[in-house]
Amino acid sequence: MTTVQGETGVLAGDERMLIDGELQHTASGATFDVIHPASEQVAGRATDGTVEDMTRAVGAARRAFDQSDWSRDVDFRFHCLTQLHDALERHKEHLRRVLITEVGCPVTVTGSQIESPIAEVKFWAEHGRDFDYMVDTGLHDTPATPSSSNLRSSHRGRAPSWGGSWPRRPTSRRASSTWWSATPTRSSSGWPPISRRSR
């Protein structure tokens, strides 16, 4: 949205969409007015995205997950999310003015839409970095022969590509929905891997 700033602190953001790393308008160039709720005046304009734009955005997120290091490189993902968190933190007052302009909410209730989401980025960056993706269950007896297994989470260090949605933060052990698989690392039984779901 076009920036409009005055004594009232009205501030609209960029009118373009961010798709596949680029700020861009919809193909037709169509836009719509952003109305400031307090004055009912036009504060800016926003590109009028289409189903095709959404398809391109989803496709870009899918490619980032499947074809880049995002889903496999824990350190790289932590680095990127930390950069995002730091940038959001630096510009949070700018974002607050945009939020108030476009939504019309009081400053006192903006924390749930500014500070909280910014904190979530940091939380999930650190969670992904510190999560135990592989757990050695140790040597144990089986009917056939002693065996040892590694417990591996099914996403194998993967997290959603940005533009998708992060899972809700677990509030208890029962809230966890991580899929695990136990893969024998030393066994002569030839049994297939077993799996279970942690709760």
Three-class SS state of 137: strand
Predicted local distance difference test score (pLDDT) of residue 153? 60
Domain ranges within the chain, ordered by starting residue: 1-67, 72-130, 135-197
Give φ, ψ of 92 to 5 degrees. Answer: -65, -30
> Structure tokens of 18?
């961010």
| Paired tokens of 112 | 């749930």
pTM comes to 0.64
Arithmetic mean of pLDDT, 41-56: 94
Q: What are phi and psi of 151, to 5 degrees?
A: -95, 120
Q: Positive or negative CA dihedral for 156, 159, 164, 165?
A: positive
Residue 179 vs residue 31, higher pLDDT: 31
Share of the chain above pLDDT 70, in %: 67
